Amino acid sequence: MVRLKVLIPNIPFKLPLALLLATLLSFATNPEMASAGADDEKVAYELLSIGDYGQAKEILERLVSEGSIGAHANLASLYLNGHGVTQDYGKARELYLTAANRGHPGAQNNLGSMYFYGKGIPQDYAEALKWYRKAAAQGHARSHALIAYMYSQGLGVEINESRAVSYFVQATRLGDAEAPRSLGYLYASGRGVPKDVVMAHALFGLAKSRGNKAADGEFRATRELLSDPELLGANIFK
């Protein structure tokens, strides 16, 4: 019998460049974020995409002075990760908080993660959950996944596996790459749902298709447990 791990998150705190770019691309989704500085925001995006953080910082600082919510969030991420600036958790939190209070879901999620991991501030699961919920209410996929993880582990809340499943399902529907892998663990172990290795295999495959290389081991492990007809039935996400 292949041993499948109980739910283990694959959520590194150091935010990848892809997340910075995703936040920048969200400017146009909120009329308050799209402004007369839209051309400058596009330039900042292009600079971030090639790793020119110094010039991007200069543009973002000017946009921040003009009140851009998205610029607050992205400049915060530069300070959080130390890209083009000296790493400064206090400055990152200040910028995230401004954007979060003005409704930016990416900033709300990242501020929640600062509280979750205790980066520059005391670790506070209740505060993390508060900001994750605000972001999730706006359809932020990763926030749904993080709330699910907190319910699965009892972090700041009582363990509630059925709620964990519900949030992981929603995060999966919203396109998160880690959520189907975590949901696959729950189906493989029968936690919060009836044990279903076929569904687990399908979810690990979905995570792989979204670029989650960490799901490859579980995908191969569950494949070995299934018959050919079951494998055919596992192609539900194709």
pTM of structure: 0.81
Q: State the pLDDT at residue 238.
A: 60
Q: State the pLDDT at residue 39.
A: 82
Q: Which of 124, 150, 172 is the last residue of a domain?
A: 124
Q: Which of 99, 124, 149 is the last residue of a domain?
A: 124
Q: Which stretches of the chain score pLDDT less than 50?
A: 1-36
Domain holding 200: CATH number? 1.25.40.10
**Residue 8 forms part of a structural domain:** no
Residues 94 and 170 in one domain: no
Residues 28 and 90 in one domain: yes
Output the DSSP codes for 141-210.
HHHHHHHHHHHHHTSSS---HHHHHHHHHHHHHTT-SSHHHHHHHHHHHTSSS---HHHHHHHHHHHHHT
What is the domain extent for residue 116?
14-124
Residues 108 and 144 in one domain: no
CA-CA distance, 71 to 23, in Å (whole number)?
9
**Residue 55 forms part of a structural domain:** yes
Residues 18 and 69 in one domain: yes
**Residue 2 forms part of a structural domain:** no
Average pLDDT taken over every residue of the chain: 84
